Amino acid sequence: MPHPLHLFCYCPRCGSDAFCENDERSKRCRACGFVFYHNASAATVAVILDEDGRLLVTRRAFPPAEGTLDLPGGFVDPGESIEEGCLREVREETGAEATLERYLFSLPNVYRFSGFDVHTTDAFFLVKLKPGQTLRPNDDAAELFWCRPKDLSPNDFGLHSIREGISRLLPMLIRE
C-alpha cells in the first residue's frame, strides 16, 4: 500500500523535491524542516425522517459512486463547526432549512476524489426539516426521495461509511 501522501512530491512551504516520508501518515522536507500530516477530514451525514418514519435518500450526482444512493451530507468547510456543516449540506442538497435533533455516531470513510484518497470521519446526525418546505435536489444530489427503511438495502449505497451507517440505522428505523 503506498504512503497516503505519495502523490505529494514537493514541499508546500519551500517547493523542494526533498519532501520525504517521515512516518506512516506524514512527510517532512529535508530542506526546510516542514512536516505535513495526512489527517482525516470532517464530514457529516444527515439522517432525516418524515412523520411516517420514511428516510430521505439522495442519488449521487457525481463521482465517486455516481448514481448510487446516499444520504444528505458532505465535507465541513474551514471555519465551520461540524453542526453548521451538516445544516449547510442539508440546505445545499435539498433546498430546505433544518435543525439538528442529536448526534448519532461517527464512522471512518475513504472518499476517492481526483485520484486521491481523502480519509474522512463522517459524523451522523438525526436532523429534522423545518415544516412547509419544498424539497429540490441540488449540488451533489441528482434526486431526492423518501424510502421506507424496510425497503432499503445497505448495498444500494455507494460509499462505505453510508453502507455501514445504514446497516446500523436500519434495526432502529424499522418499526413493524
Give the confidence band of 155 by pLDDT, cuts at 50, 70, 90.
very high
The better pLDDT of the pair 93, 2 is held by 93
Domain 41-173 has CATH 3.90.79.10: yes
pLDDT digits (tens, 9 = 90+) for 87-143: 999 999 999 999 999 999 999 999 888 888 899 999 999 999 999 999 999 999 999
The DSSP line for 45-105 is EEEEB-TTSPEEEEEE-SSSSTTSEE-SEEEPPTT--HHHHHHHHHHHHHS--EEEEEEEE
Residues acting as catalytic residues: 143
Domain locations in the chain as residue ranges: 1-38, 41-173
| 56-93 pLDDT per residue, tens | 999 999 999 999 999 999 999 999 999 999 999 999 99
Share of the chain above pLDDT 90, in %: 93
pLDDT of residue 175: 67
- Write down the pLDDT at residue 138: 96
Distance (Å, rounded) from C-alpha 53 to C-alpha 163?
19
Question: According to the model, what pLDDT value does residue 102 have?
Answer: 98
Q: Which residues pair with 111 in a beta bridge?
A: 118
Q: What DSSP assignment string belongs to 11-62?
A: -TTT--S-EEEEETTEEEETTT--EEE--PEEEEEEEEB-TTSPEEEEEE-S
Reported residue count of the chain is 176
pLDDT in tens, 23-68: 999 999 999 999 999 999 999 999 999 999 999 999 999 999 999 9
**What does pTM read for this prediction?**
0.91
